[in-house]
């Protein structure tokens, strides 16, 4: 309050603000910590995932005692302890294209700290429709990006102006596949929180129409100007891009996985082994005896979930049980490049009553293990 650019008026604006944070992971942890400490009046935390040991080096809201707990619930408890004067709501459910408008409506600003493309497009589309500012951040290895998107009634820049076409599944690795330096999350998350406070308090020059890029190894910030594509129509409905660019599922290991040492015996028993990578990833071969079903097709076989979480067959027809194709997945072993996508697929299928196992380490663990590898087809 002693800062003349902020003052008592700016602090009252923060206290009156309602903010939604999608993701309580590497970026969400510092974002949430600083927003709560800054006195944001109401914070909604969206995250369907649970705390895992692999999270702790970068998701500093959590400790060893939180292992297995809901991230949203654990984060909300920490924020209330940090600042009892604010209101924090935990939503341990996935924000879906069907539910996004309802779940985000009523907030003044949204922050997206997720690590998958379907959620990024969904958050941007929902914010454009609701005319909400969106603070977006992304991290991988030693690099990060931050920007502020705002549709502004069809005149502003959004995530779709930066990335018009969603990447294909497997085209861009996730943090769990490629790794990320824990301290990078703090740098980028704090920057996202700073931009959020600037937007809400009317402070300084916001990163609107600019993309800030940080290289931790060079300790250097760079900046790219952004402009709206004049040919891009305003978003009027939320597109579900899961089929075109991958699964927006929980991070962390599978709830049922096996090691590469267990795979030969299962192959000998005739257990169904499914390579869920994309076709362009098969150049180095695939496990001999496995079949290739890209992840999007696999999930389509099992049907998708509607906003309520009820299983819906891929053709949209009502069904009280699994289709024959979905039932055929029961007991299968899934593998991808490094184990991340198969773990996400395993967990989602488990929620739909289909028990499969994920190969820890994916095809990367198979190479050099002595397991026979052949070319597809």
**Any idea which residues carry the catalytic annotation?**
175, 336
CA neighbor of 19 nearest in space, from 74, 96, 73, 89: 89
How many residues are there in the chain? 377
Dist. CA 3–CA 204, nearest whole Å: 12
Dihedrals phi, psi of 3, to nearest 5 degrees: -75, 120
**Residues 329, 353: contact at Cβ < 8 Å?**
no
Structure token digits, residue 34: 């600083």
Measured from the Cβ of residue 373, the count of other Cβ atoms closer than 10 Å reads: 16
Closest by Cα among 195, 261, 237 to 35: 195
């Amino acid at each position: 309050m002693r800062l003349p650019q902020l003052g008592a008026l700016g602090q009252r604006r923060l206290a009156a603000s309602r903010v939604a944070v999608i993701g309580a992971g590497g970026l969400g942890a510092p974002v949430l910590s600083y927003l709560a400490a800054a006195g944001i009046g109401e914070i909604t935390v969206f995250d369907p995932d649970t705390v895992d040991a692999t999270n702790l080096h970068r998701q500093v809201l959590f400790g060893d005692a939180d292992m297995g707990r809901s991230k949203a619930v654990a984060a909300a408890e920490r924020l209330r302890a940090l600042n009892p004067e604010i209101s924090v709501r935990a939503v341990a459910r996935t924000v879906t294209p069907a539910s996004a408008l309802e779940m985000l409506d009523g907030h003044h600003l949204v922050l997206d700290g997720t690590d998958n493309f379907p959620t990024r497009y969904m958050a941007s589309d929902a914010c454009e429709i609701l005319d909400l500012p969106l603070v977006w951040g992304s991290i991988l290895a030693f690099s990060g990006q931050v920007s502020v998107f705002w549709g502004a009634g069809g005149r502003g820049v959004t995530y779709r102006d930066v990335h018009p076409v969603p990447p294909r599944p497997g085209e861009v690795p996730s943090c769990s596949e490629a790794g990320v330096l824990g301290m990078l999350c703090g740098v980028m998350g704090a920057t996202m929180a700073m931009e959020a406070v600037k937007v809400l308090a009317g402070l300084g020059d916001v990163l609107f129409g600019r993309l800030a890029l940080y290289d931790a190894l060079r300790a250097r910030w760079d900046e790219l100007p952004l402009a709206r594509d004049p040919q891009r129509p305003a978003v009027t409905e939320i597109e579900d891009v899961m089929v075109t660019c991958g699964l927006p599922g929980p991070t962390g290991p599978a709830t049922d996985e096996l090691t590469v040492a267990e795979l030969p015996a299962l192959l000998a028993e005739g257990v169904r082994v499914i390579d869920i990578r994309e076709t362009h990833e098969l150049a180095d071969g695939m496990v001999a005896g496995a079949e290739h079903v890209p992840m999007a097709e696999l999930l389509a076989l099992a049907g998708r979930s509607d906003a309520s979480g009820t299983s819906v067959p891929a053709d949209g027809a009502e069904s009280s049980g699994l289709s024959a194709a979905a039932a055929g997945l029961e007991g299968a072993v899934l593998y991808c490049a490094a184990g991340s996508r198969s773990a996400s697929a395993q967990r989602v299928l488990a929620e739909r009553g289909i028990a499969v196992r994920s190969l820890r380490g994916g095809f990367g663990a198979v190479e050099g293990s002595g397991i026979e590898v052949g070319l597809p087809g």
